[in-house]
A and B are shown apart, each in its own frame.
Chain A
Amino acid sequence: MTYRTFDPYQAVEALAASTRRAILERLRHRPLPVGELAKGLPVSRPAVSQHLQVLKAAGLVREQRVGARHLYGINPEGLAALRAYVESFWQDALKELKATAERQRRKRR
């Protein structure tokens, strides 16, 4: 487990910086060490490390150790939690739709 409780606000805030979104994009395909990750980005390696910490704290990225190497990769659990959050919004909206549609039918009878 790389994070305790998923906080959607923290995840949204973590994604509110373009560099961090760029990092996630790069990690989409496979986990990478910080050095390699920084090569394709217009920011310094220490900056990338900091961004990674933010993403990790938000539950979107996880750290793995492979031998002596530290790799960073997407945390599918965190992304699934974020998705579930958006899903619950639509589910709530559809409940309103149902209530409205069925209420109208009763009125018409």
Chain B
Amino acid sequence: MTKTVVPPVHASVTIARRPDDVFQVFTRGMAQWWPLHTHSVAADTFEGKVRAEKVVFEGRAGGRIYERMDDGREVDWGQVLVWEPPHRVVFSWKPNLDPVPPTEVEVKFIPEGSGTRVDLQHRGWERLGEEGLRKRQVYETGWPGVIDVFARHLSNA
């Protein structure tokens, strides 16, 4: 049985480069492509007072994914749970300051001709619901905190 109200989110793209290259750019190279000016805790929370300087993806099992702000602070976005270059990476995901548990993102890098198909699955939404219920006396934000981060991105797109 499934308890998920919102089923996993999928996204996919095919890239004209080999899986090991794409894997490296996605992970250790995240700072090169992540749209940090709109997609960061700094952008969401501090509205221009503090800026996100860079995102760091530590490429190893247990590695941190975090944002460094221009006032020197670091905010964790998640942790690498599975590190299988160049095939698969799984990381926990909570790019916000809300007191909620993280969701989870799995990215697969599948050879396709001379290129790579990147399949991304964002799941674990049910954790937010259940945890949100347990903590409802304490916290007024929860599940939407995570979605909110994404929601704001699109408004700026």
Residues of chain A at the chain B interface (Cβ within 8 Å): 8-9, 12-13, 15-19, 21-22, 24-25, 28, 74, 79, 82-83, 85-102, 104-105
Give the chain A neighbours of B29 by CB distance below 8 A: 100
- Report yes or no: B22 in contact with A101, Cβ–Cβ below 8 A: yes
Give the chain B neighbours of A99 by CB distance below 8 A: 33
- Select one of B25, B33, B136, B157 contacting A18, CB under 8 A: B136
Chain B binding surface SS class? mixed
- Report yes or no: B10 in contact with A87, Cβ–Cβ below 8 A: yes
Q: Is B61 an interface residue (CB 8 A)?
A: no
- Report yes or no: A101 in contact with B5, Cβ–Cβ below 8 A: no
> A102 to B130, alpha carbons, bound, how many Å?
41
Give the chain A neighbours of B145 by CB distance below 8 A: 16
Give the chain B neighbours of A21 by CB distance below 8 A: 129, 132-133, 136, 142-143
- Select one of A86, A90, A94, A98 contacting B147, CB under 8 A: A86
Q: Is B73 an interface residue (CB 8 A)?
A: no
> A108 to B144, alpha carbons, bound, how many Å?
42
B122-157, CB < 8 A from A: 122, 129-130, 132-133, 135-136, 139-145, 147-148, 150-151, 153-155, 157
> A90 to B95, alpha carbons, bound, how many Å?
13
B6-41, CB < 8 A from A: 6-7, 9-17, 21-22, 25-26, 29, 32-35, 39
Known: A24-B5, A100-B25, A104-B25. A89 touches B133 (CB 8 A): no
Give the chain B neighbours of A101 by CB distance below 8 A: 15, 17, 21-22, 25, 33
Chain B 78-122 near chain A by CB (<8 Å), digits 1 or 0:
000000000000000000000000000000000000000010101
- Report yes or no: A82 in contact with B147, Cβ–Cβ below 8 A: yes
> A90 to B157, alpha carbons, bound, how many Å?
12
* Residue of chain A at shortest CB distance from B14: A98
- Report yes or no: B144 in contact with A16, Cβ–Cβ below 8 A: yes
Most A CB contacts (10 A, CB to CB) among B21, B133, B150, B157 go to B150
